[in-house]
Structure 1
Amino acid sequence: MRREASGAAASSASGLEPQRQQGEGKHVAEARRTLLEKTADTVEELYHLRDTFFPRDPTEKPAALRACADAALAVLDSLPAEQRKSPQQRAVYEFLMGKILDVFPDYHKEAEEHLSKAVKLNPSLIDAWLCLGNCIWKKGDLESAKNCFLSALSKGSDKRILCQLSMLERSMAQGSDGQAFLVDESINHAKEAVLLDIKDGNSWYNLGNAYLTSFFVSGAWDHAKLHHSVKAYQNAEKDETMKLNPDLYYNCATAEKYLENYESALRGFEAAALKDPGLSADTEVQKIISILDKLDNATKRQLRPTILASSVSSLSEVNSKLSHKKVTINILSEGLNKTVAVLGKVALLIRHDNVAPLYYLSCDLDQSYFILSVYGLRSEAIKEGDRVALLEPYYRIMDISWKGQRYKFKSIRVDFPEQIRINEKAPAAHHVVRASIHAHNKS
């Protein structure tokens, strides 16, 4: 999974403006706006640049951000003393100063100092708590960052704070003993944010990221999480503002890839590459095409009938003591096939660049070839020539078209170690994968 967009950009200048009287004219309202409020709009433009500008030459972005930040600081420095006299005005001034300095990826000590002053002057300034939490997060103090977000939530529910807390919990989960618990908390906070505004694309995007992370946690490759993730990303895309976010398309494509919806994954990675040339999305496209070429070519590989018959003959003698009914691949229905088991012989390990899944060319008792994709196991768990019993197999006929090329083959997917027996034995415990979390945050 790629980086996640920081909710700091969502800190709105609207929270800094007094309520306008109903019916007040637009020009009158504009004239009454203070320079401090206008500066807040300039800062929003700075963050919009950060989150939507993805030049082909990545060195252009820091320079553009620096120029825009310097311009915003100059405007803020020109603020008359009388417009930053009261504690409330001073708090907003310190908040904006800190937010400008914190726009860059690296931790900025001066930004933290300004933001800390802002929340001391006005503890109810939620936007300042949000930015302070993000700033402290950058220096690696995750607990203090969490305390900032919780302090903001103590003033009232806020979708932006909930999204940041959700994202932080995923970051805290990496390498933690309480990994699964923290990711579950991340999902809960993401759902809470969505319920506050079901039309907000960033909240849906955050929920999609939470579910995608959950898929990787502890090696429990439950693809129901992937379906939830894709659905959340699709809801995020309904928000026009999210269509500028290349990571939405990248992360959705990642979920589609692990669902083995390769055509959708290819379209998503291609869209991400067009929106941000700096992403490795075009590399992901080439990886999928390479895998499909290998899978397609493997299924076309033909052993001589006598060799094939000899290879699978041992399957009929297997006494697996299974309660499942033994079947061949040709009578399976697409999707999950409960109460049945397919006996297969592993003919070939198909090597590729991704960590998961493991791909094998296999054949069943009817000498029908299929691709076996296995999640949650290490590559040494299954060797060429092994007999496998696939319990409650998830079966699909893959038919993928991409730019004039067509790939078609039969596939059985194994998501959990409990779904497979290798040479009549359950997989050894040391062969079961406990996956790390594949998440990168952008703040």
Structure 2
Amino acid sequence: MSAQKPAPPATSGAEPEGKESRTALERAADAADELYRLRDTFFPRDPAEKAAALRAGADAALALLDAIPPEERKSPQQRGVFEFLRGKILDVFPDYHKEAEDHLSKAVKLNPSLVDAWLCLGNCIWKKGDLSAAKNCFSLALSKGSDKKILCQLSMLERSMAQGSEDQELLVEESINHAKEAVVLDIKDGNSWYNMGNAYLTSFFVGGAWDHTKLHHSVKAYQNAEKDKTMSLNPDLYYNCATADKYLENYERALRGFEAAALKDPGLGADTEVEKIISLLDKLENAMKGQLRSKRLASLASSLSGIHLKSSHKKATIRELSEGLNKEVAVLGKVVLLIRHDNVAPLYYLACDLDQSYFMLSVYGLRNDAIKEGDRVVLFEPHYRILDASWKDKRYQFKSIRVDFPEQILINEKAPAPRHVARASIHAHNKP
């Protein structure tokens, strides 16, 4: 199933009722807008079908432009709009188009106050790979006045610039600030909220994939984006929100989100994400079912009794924990099994405590060689929950402790070595 293909822009015939007075330039602008709506909402299973639809729509829109009488593009302002529309139409395709850049450059020279032309020129140059020049275009556009579309594109560009940069965290923080500015300009605009969600999701990974506050901000922004009905056709919104839910271990919500994204755009690979989560849940369930014999378990648990805490934290077992964060408490655990899976984070282990109770240990911010099977761990301020997810008539339930950052854990009575601290490199779907 794919999104319904929008009707192609009209190329001839009578004007719709009430639109007789519209100029040829305005009709061409409508055709360009319709072309971009097709780009952003039409996701067939065969990418060639979309490419052909875009080519046909672009040809029709260019034909409208070419039919504009010379007297309607005499003034610099009219010529600026004409060049802008030609460049915008040519730039609808995913790859960089030199002719599009040439027309858009002419447009901003003829009419420097044409903000949408600066926006399109920045996007075109971004595709070429010249990110600093693209940022300059967006900054020049903002010098004409605040604009939510420009702010969102600038925010998105800064996230792209952050990848591999020494100023990664600073650029992502700037991205968040520009996203916030866009939301303030129009609190009901779904795209601005969506962009903010992406900024916080990227910030989560740039910071080492441990700060769940960023994930909660991200999900909240995506939920606000969903309130705008115009966003219902954006598959990336559902995909990225599901990604945030996945790292929050809200697996049932993540599964629903990935399924929705797969229905809207089969090419996103969201169905693969569904398979990964189900595979992970099955592995967790199988690990619990394959618990060791009680005699071996007693031996494992007894090795924990010799651990002496140097802090004021009170020793506790899994049975004594409350749902959520348990302050001034430490759980001693023995790592029984590393559960290998396909996601960047968290790391999953089957562990047991002093009471010989099994639980799932999920660890963020560490590399997968930091903790080995057989290691003793001390978990400070443990975040406890019952991981509960249902999908396709099957229910998964596990007791779970989450470790958000390296300072929250000792491994064999020692803090994790600096080389074991992870820095993730995943980003939200981010397209110019």
- 1:383 correspondence with 2:388: no
3-state DSSP of counterpart to 1:380:
coil
Counterpart in 1 of 2:301? Answer: 312
Counterpart in 2 of 1:303? Answer: 292
Residue by residue, what CA displacement relative to the aligned partner does 1:273-302 show, whole Å, maximum 9, x if unpaired?
011111110000000000000111111222
Residue by residue, what CA displacement relative to the aligned partner does 1:169-225 show, whole Å, maximum 9, x if unpaired?
000000111111110110000000000001000000000000000000031510011
Counterpart in 2 of 1:150? Answer: 139
TM-score (norm 2): 0.95
- What is the CA–CA distance in structure 2 between the aligned matches of 1:88 and 1:191, rounded to whole Å? 33
**40, 44, 53: which one pairs with 1:51?**
40
Q: Equivalences for 1:389-404 in 2 at 5 Å?
A: 389-404=378-393
**178, 181, 188: which one pairs with 2:167?**
178
- 1:345 correspondence with 2:334: yes
**4+ residue stretches of structure 1 with deviation over 6 A?**
26-29
TM-score (norm 1): 0.93
C-alpha displacement of 1:31: 2.2
- What is the CA–CA distance in structure 2 between the aligned matches of 1:401 and 1:32, rounded to whole Å? 57
Q: Equivalences for 1:44-443 in 2 at 5 Å?
A: 44-443=33-432
Q: Is the 8 A contact 2:159 2:202 kept in 1?
A: yes
- What is the CA–CA distance in structure 2 between the aligned matches of 1:305 and 1:130, rounded to whole Å? 66
- What is the CA–CA distance in structure 2 between the aligned matches of 1:199 and 1:83, rounded to whole Å? 37
3-state DSSP of counterpart to 1:31:
coil
- What is the CA–CA distance in structure 2 between the aligned matches of 1:31 and 1:310, rounded to whole Å? 87
Q: Is the 8 A contact 2:240 2:428 kept in 1?
A: no
3-state DSSP of counterpart to 1:33:
coil
- What is the CA–CA distance in structure 1 between the aligned matches of 2:298 and 2:419, rounded to whole Å? 33
Q: Is the 8 A contact 2:209 2:345 kept in 1?
A: no
> Greater CA deviation, 298-307 or 74-83?
298-307
Name the Cα RMSD after superposition. Answer: 1.2
1:316–1:151 CA distance, 2 compared to 1 (3 A):
same
Q: Is the 8 A contact 1:211 1:229 kept in 2?
A: yes
1:27–1:361 CA distance, 2 compared to 1 (3 A):
closer
The percent of aligned pairs where both chains have the same amino acid is 80
Gap runs ≥5 in structure 1? 1-25
C-alpha displacement of 1:27: 8.5
C-alpha displacement of 1:29: 6.2
Q: Which amino acid aligns with 1:356?
A: A
> Greater CA deviation, 368-377 or 430-439?
430-439
Counterpart in 2 of 1:15? Answer: none
Q: Is the 8 A contact 1:218 1:436 kept in 2?
A: no
Q: Is the 8 A contact 2:316 2:329 kept in 1?
A: yes
C-alpha displacement of 1:139: 0.5
Q: Which amino acid aligns with 2:341?
A: H
Q: Which amino acid aligns with 1:49?
A: L
Counterpart in 2 of 1:39? Answer: 28
1:266–1:220 CA distance, 2 compared to 1 (3 A):
closer
C-alpha displacement of 1:32: 2.0
- What is the CA–CA distance in structure 2 between the aligned matches of 1:104 and 1:40, rounded to whole Å? 17
Counterpart in 2 of 1:22? Answer: none
Between 1 and 2, higher relative CO (CA 8 Å, sep ≥ 6) is seen in: 1
Q: Is the 8 A contact 2:236 2:429 kept in 1?
A: no
- What is the CA–CA distance in structure 2 between the aligned matches of 1:220 and 1:111, rounded to whole Å? 39
3-state DSSP of counterpart to 2:47:
coil
- What is the CA–CA distance in structure 2 between the aligned matches of 1:434 and 1:396, rounded to whole Å? 25
3-state DSSP of counterpart to 1:55:
coil
C-alpha displacement of 1:138: 0.4
Residue by residue, what CA displacement relative to the aligned partner does 1:335-387 show, whole Å, maximum 9, x if unpaired?
11111110000000001111211100000000110000111111110000000
C-alpha displacement of 1:28: 9.1
1:400–1:76 CA distance, 2 compared to 1 (3 A):
same
